Structure 1
Amino acid sequence: MKLLILLIFCTLSLSAFGQPPLGQHPLGQHVLSGKISLEGQTEPAFGAAVYINELKIGTTADTLGNYLITSIPKGNYTIRISYVSFPTITEKNIRIDKNVTKDFTLKSGENSLDEVVVTGTMKEVSKLDSPVPVDIITAKFIYKNPVPSIFEGLSYVNGVRPQLNCNVCSTGDIHINGLEGPYTMVLIDGMPMVSGLSTVYGLSGIPNSLIDRVEIVKGPASTLYGSEAVGGLINIITKNPSKAPTFSADVFSTSWLDYNVDLGLKLTPSPKVTSLLGISYFNYQNPIDNNKDGFTDLTLQNRISVFNKWSFNLPDNKMANVAIRYYYEDRWGGQMNWNKSYRGGSEVYGESIYTKRYEILGNYQLPTKEKITFQYSFSSHNQNSVYGHVLFNADQKISFAQLLWDKVAGKHNFLFGAPFRYTFYNDNTPATRYSDGRDHADQTFLPGVFVQDEIKMGSHALLLGARYDYNSRHGSIFTPRLAYKIKLNQTDVVRLNIGRGFRIVNLFTEDHAALTGSRQVIVREKLNPEQSWNANINFVKKIVTGNSFVGFDASVFYTYFTNRILPDYDTDPNLIIYDNLNGYAVSKGISLNLDFNFSFPLKIIAGGTFMDNFQSENGIKFRPVLTEKFTGIWAVSYEIQKAGISFDYTGNIYGPMRLPLLSENDPRAAISPIWSLQNIQVTKKFPNGLEFYGGVKNLLNFTPPANSIARSFDPFDKNVTFDPQGQVVSTPDNPNRLTFDPSYVFAPNQGIRGFAGFRYTFH
Structure 2
Amino acid sequence: MFRSVFLLISLCSCFASIAQTGTITGNISSGKTMVEAASIEIPKLGIGSSSDSNGNFMLNNIPRDKSFRLQISSKGFVTAWQTIQLSSDTLPLRIVLEKADASMLSDVVVTGTMKEISRTASPVPVEIITPKLFQKNPTPSLFEAVGMVNGVKPQLNCNVCNTGDIHINGMEGPYTMILIDGMPIVSALSTVYGLSGIPNSMVERIEVVKGPASSLYGSEAMGGIINVITKNPVRAPLVSTDIFGTSWGELSVDVAAKMKTRNATSLLGVNYFNYQQKHDKNNDGFTDMTLQNRISVFNKWNFTRKENRLASIAGRFVYEDRWGGQTSWGKQWRGTDSIYGESIYTRRAEIIGVYQLPTREKIFTQFSFNKHDQNSYYGKVPYFATQQVVFLQTYWDKKISGSHSLLMGGSVRYTHYDDNTPGTASPDGRTNQPTNTFLPGVFIQDEWSISPKHTLLAGYRFDHDKNHGSVHSPRVAYKYAPNNNNIVRASMGTGFRVVNLFTEDHAALTGAREVVIASALRPERSYNANLNYVLKIPTDHFYLGFDITGFYSYFTNKIIGDFDTDPNKII
In 2, distance between residues paired with 1:515 and 1:336? 27
Match of 2:328 in 1: 337
Query: Pick from 546, 552, 556: which aligns with 1:558?
Result: 552
In 1, distance between residues paired with 2:396 and 2:569? 44
Mapped contact 2:561–2:570 kept (Cα < 8 A): yes
1:390 aligns with 2:384: no
Letter in 2 for 1:510: E
Match of 2:216 in 1: 224
Q: CA deviation at 1:251?
A: 1.2
1:480-509 Cα shifts (integer Å, max 9, x gaps): 110111111011111111111111223544
1:185-234 Cα shifts (integer Å, max 9, x gaps): 11111111121212144432222121111111110000000011111111
1:276 aligns with 2:267: yes
Q: CA deviation at 1:375?
A: 0.3
Letter in 2 for 1:473: N
Letter in 2 for 1:291: N
After superposition, residues 96-495 of structure 1 pair within 5 angstroms as: 105-106=98-99, 115-270=107-262, 272-410=263-401, 411-436=403-428, 437-458=430-451, 459-495=453-489
Mapped contact 1:540–1:554 kept (Cα < 8 A): yes
Q: CA deviation at 1:445?
A: 0.4
In 1, distance between residues paired with 2:568 and 2:132? 42
Mapped contact 1:539–1:555 kept (Cα < 8 A): yes
Mapped contact 1:362–1:375 kept (Cα < 8 A): yes
After superposition, residues 619-698 of structure 1 pair within 5 angstroms as: none
Letter in 1 for 2:374: Q
TM-score, normalised via structure 1 length = 0.60
Query: Pick from 69, 86, 89: which aligns with 2:76?
Result: 86
1:445-470 Cα shifts (integer Å, max 9, x gaps): 01110000001122211111100001
Letter in 2 for 1:325: R
Evaluate the alpha carbon distance shift between residue 144 and residue 509 of structure 1 in structure 2; reply closer, same or farther with a 3 A threshold.
Answer: farther
In 1, distance between residues paired with 2:133 and 2:413? 34
Letter in 2 for 1:535: A
1:109-139 Cα shifts (integer Å, max 9, x gaps): xxx9971110000011111100000011111
In 1, distance between residues paired with 2:203 and 2:343? 29
Q: CA deviation at 1:576?
A: 13
In 2, distance between residues paired with 1:521 and 1:351? 26
Evaluate the alpha carbon distance shift between residue 388 and residue 152 of structure 1 in structure 2; reply closer, same or farther with a 3 A threshold.
Answer: same
Mapped contact 1:514–1:521 kept (Cα < 8 A): no
Mapped contact 2:502–2:561 kept (Cα < 8 A): no
Match of 1:531 in 2: 525
In 1, distance between residues paired with 2:229 and 2:136? 19
In 1, distance between residues paired with 2:107 and 2:393? 26
Evaluate the alpha carbon distance shift between residue 492 and residue 566 of structure 1 in structure 2; reply closer, same or farther with a 3 A threshold.
Answer: farther
Mapped contact 2:143–2:154 kept (Cα < 8 A): yes
In 1, distance between residues paired with 2:341 and 2:516? 26
SS of corresponding position for 2:427? coil
Letter in 2 for 1:365: Q
Q: CA deviation at 1:415?
A: 0.4
Mapped contact 1:266–1:276 kept (Cα < 8 A): yes
Match of 1:15 in 2: none
Letter in 2 for 1:86: G
Structure 1: which 5+ runs fail to align? Answer: 1-49, 54-83, 90-102, 580-763
SS of corresponding position for 2:144? helix
Q: CA deviation at 1:155?
A: 2.2
Mapped contact 1:568–1:576 kept (Cα < 8 A): no
In 2, distance between residues paired with 1:293 and 1:418? 54
Q: CA deviation at 1:87?
A: 3.9
SS of corresponding position for 2:307? helix
In 2, distance between residues paired with 1:379 and 1:240? 22
Mapped contact 2:123–2:457 kept (Cα < 8 A): yes
TM-score, normalised via structure 2 length = 0.79
Evaluate the alpha carbon distance shift between residue 541 and residue 304 of structure 1 in structure 2; reply closer, same or farther with a 3 A threshold.
Answer: same
Evaluate the alpha carbon distance shift between residue 388 and residue 523 of structure 1 in structure 2; reply closer, same or farther with a 3 A threshold.
Answer: farther
Q: CA deviation at 1:300?
A: 0.8
In 1, distance between residues paired with 2:270 and 2:568? 39
Letter in 2 for 1:447: P
1:49-72 Cα shifts (integer Å, max 9, x gaps): x9999xxxxxxxxxxxxxxxxxxx
383-392 vs 432-441, greater mean Cα deviation: 432-441
Evaluate the alpha carbon distance shift between residue 409 and residue 357 of structure 1 in structure 2; reply closer, same or farther with a 3 A threshold.
Answer: same
Mapped contact 2:124–2:477 kept (Cα < 8 A): yes
Letter in 2 for 1:333: G
Query: Pick from 473, 492, 500: which aligns with 1:498?
Result: 492
SS of corresponding position for 1:323? strand
Mapped contact 1:362–1:376 kept (Cα < 8 A): yes
In 1, distance between residues paired with 2:236 and 2:247? 32
In 1, distance between residues paired with 2:514 and 2:119? 44
Aligned residues: 480
Q: CA deviation at 1:341?
A: 1.0
- Cα RMSD over matched residues? 2.9
Q: CA deviation at 1:147?
A: 1.2
Q: CA deviation at 1:392?
A: 0.4
Letter in 1 for 2:176: T
419-428 vs 343-352, greater mean Cα deviation: 343-352
Mapped contact 1:462–1:483 kept (Cα < 8 A): yes
Mapped contact 1:199–1:510 kept (Cα < 8 A): no
In 1, distance between residues paired with 2:171 and 2:454? 31
SS of corresponding position for 1:554? strand
Q: CA deviation at 1:516?
A: 7.8
After superposition, residues 26-37 of structure 1 pair within 5 angstroms as: none
1:369-406 Cα shifts (integer Å, max 9, x gaps): 10000100000111111111110000000000000100
Q: CA deviation at 1:510?
A: 3.4
SS of corresponding position for 1:143? helix
Mapped contact 1:390–1:515 kept (Cα < 8 A): no
Evaluate the alpha carbon distance shift between residue 502 and residue 575 of structure 1 in structure 2; reply closer, same or farther with a 3 A threshold.
Answer: farther
Mapped contact 1:524–1:577 kept (Cα < 8 A): no
Structure 2: which 5+ runs fail to align? Answer: 1-29, 34-73, 80-95
SS of corresponding position for 2:320? strand
Q: CA deviation at 1:546?
A: 1.8
Flag the structure with more relative contact order, 1 or 2, with Cα contacts below 8 A and sequence separation at least 6.
1
SS of corresponding position for 1:198? helix
Q: CA deviation at 1:279?
A: 0.2
SS of corresponding position for 2:467? coil
In 2, distance between residues paired with 1:204 and 1:409? 41
